[in-house]
Amino acid sequence: MSPASGVELAHPTDFATLMTLEQHGPDTWVGLSAEYPWGRIYGGQVVAQSLRAALMTVAVDYLPHSLHAYFIRGGDLSEPVRYEVDRLRDGRTFCTRAVVARQSGGAILNLSCSFQRAESAAEVQTARMPLAPVPDDVRPHAEDWPWIMEKRPLVSYPGAGQSMGWVRIKDRLDEDPRLHVCGLAFTSDTVQFNAARSIHPIQVPQEKYHETFMGASLDHAMWFHRPIRADEWHLYQWDCHGLTGARGMTVGNLFAPDGTHVASIAQEVLLRERRSD
């Protein structure tokens, strides 16, 4: 139920519907949340919907090249999210937007993003895709994600400081490149936690993790390098650069199956031991 209206919300069950935002005044949009079994809004959804709202305010020949976001508080599944866009600058090649995602309890995410018109320039790739089994050879991860996003994480062994996994949007999307870049943002808040968990001095089985630790995404940055299809498999490769102050610093690359480097990502995660006192 929505606290404001007392009306039962219809939770989207596919990505295209999730990205269908309703305009509520100048540069303001409202989006609904999928129903996640862990009881709060998935952070990647708020990033993707914020980016979608920002895209509504830029010309169609601009595409995002970077975004930076802070997760402020957990989102409430029982009410819509309001996205307020600030047009910071419109230039001939670049334009910049700021987005605040709000619910009745206050802001839940603050995002800045920059957009660029396509330019013909040097094309060089130095990042190399790591060796990994193909998605069909990796066991599906269906416990939390029976819909919208499909994950196939690889095992991250204790002490590795790394994690990898294949991810894609489950439903076939149309050709709109803006929808696919939002899909990439949606899938980006995943897989990295295992890189941080693997180097923690306390190692527990996956089923005991939530009893032992409190985890959350704190801040998130992405750089978009090349066009992608979010409904096709991509490989995330994450490295954890260390743990301090209950925070883990993770840095990752995203590759298409042919080895094309499509994005770079950095995220700080919360990895706090639960205390009995």
Positions annotated as catalytic residues are 189, 217, 267
Q: What is the distance between the alpha carbons of residues 149 and 129, in angstroms, rounded to a whole number?
A: 22
| CB atoms closer than 10 angstroms to residue 141 | 17
Residue tagged 């997760």 (tokens): 71
Partner residues linked to 95 by β-bridges? 90, 115
Task: Name the 3-class secondary structure at 261.
Answer: strand
Q: 124 is written with which tokens?
A: 């060089």
Partner residues linked to 141 by β-bridges? 151
Task: Name the 3-class secondary structure at 230.
Answer: coil
Task: Name the 3-class secondary structure at 17.
Answer: helix
Closest CA to 254 of 224, 275, 274: 224
Q: Which residues contact 241 (CB under 8 A, 6 or more apart)?
A: 249, 250, 251
What is the spatial order of strands in the sheet that 94-103 belongs to? 22-23, 28-31, 81-90, 94-103, 106-117, 62-71, 213-224, 261-273, 247-255, 234-244, 162-169, 149-153
Q: What is the distance between the alpha carbons of residues 51 and 233, in angstroms, rounded to a whole number?
A: 21
Helices assigned H by DSSP within the chain: 15-18, 43-55, 177-187, 193-197, 209-212
